[in-house]
Amino acid sequence: MNENLSDLHRQQKLYWDQMFELKRAVSYIRLYRDSLGKRVTWLGALKAIASCGGIAAWVIWKEYAFVWGAIIAASQVADALKDVFPFAKKHKAACEHAITLANLFIDVQLEWESVFSGRYTDDEIMKRLHQLQKLQLDTESRNFPDGLAMQNALLDRAKREATDYLASTYGVK
């Protein structure tokens, strides 16, 4: 698609814009998931260190049972509460959301070829655009019922990634 987007019909342009927004969302949620994943990994490492540290304390200081007992108890509490920590719950939701959006984008890329080539009427394009917007909203509502907070740094990076991807794939900037 090495032509100017201004040559597209209005409905094709709307579909293209939505495809861009979907690609940006795919990039954003991947970046968001990865940033939360670092926190989840950190918490897991902390739990492992606390548990092993508690056992080591028990071996070294048997007479200080309250010390190693407290360390092991803290580790167990952290393990029991892992899904309560907001970032752990959001990480799980982001993982599911990333997969759903990536799959949706694959379908949209295939559909774009028919939209761009003129195989669909304007009414068909608008129905498909409507369906795409609903699918995006439904998946976000399901995975983030309280909404997905946007982090500007990740959002800017996701926008650059989406722009670069679509430019390299379709020859449009």
The string of pLDDT tens digits covering residues 117-162 is 999 999 999 999 999 999 999 999 999 999 998 999 999 999 999 9
The mean pLDDT value of the chain amounts to 85
Please give the Cα distance from 117 to 66 (Å, whole number).
73
What pLDDT is stored for residue 64 in this prediction?
Answer: 67
Among 144, 159, 157, CA closest to 94: 144
CA dist., res. 109 & res. 127, Å (int): 16
Q: Is residue 78 within 8 Å of 43, Cβ to Cβ?
A: yes
Both tokens of residue 12? 């094709």
CA–centroid distance for 11 within its chain: 28
Is-contact 21 158, C-beta < 8 A?
A: no
Q: What is the mean pLDDT of residues 20-29?
A: 98
User: Is residue 41 exposed (0-12), middle (13-18) or buried (19+ Cβ within 10 Å)?
Assistant: exposed
Confidence (pLDDT) at 160: 97
The pLDDT of 8-17, averaged and rounded, is 92
Mean pLDDT of all residues in 34-44 = 75
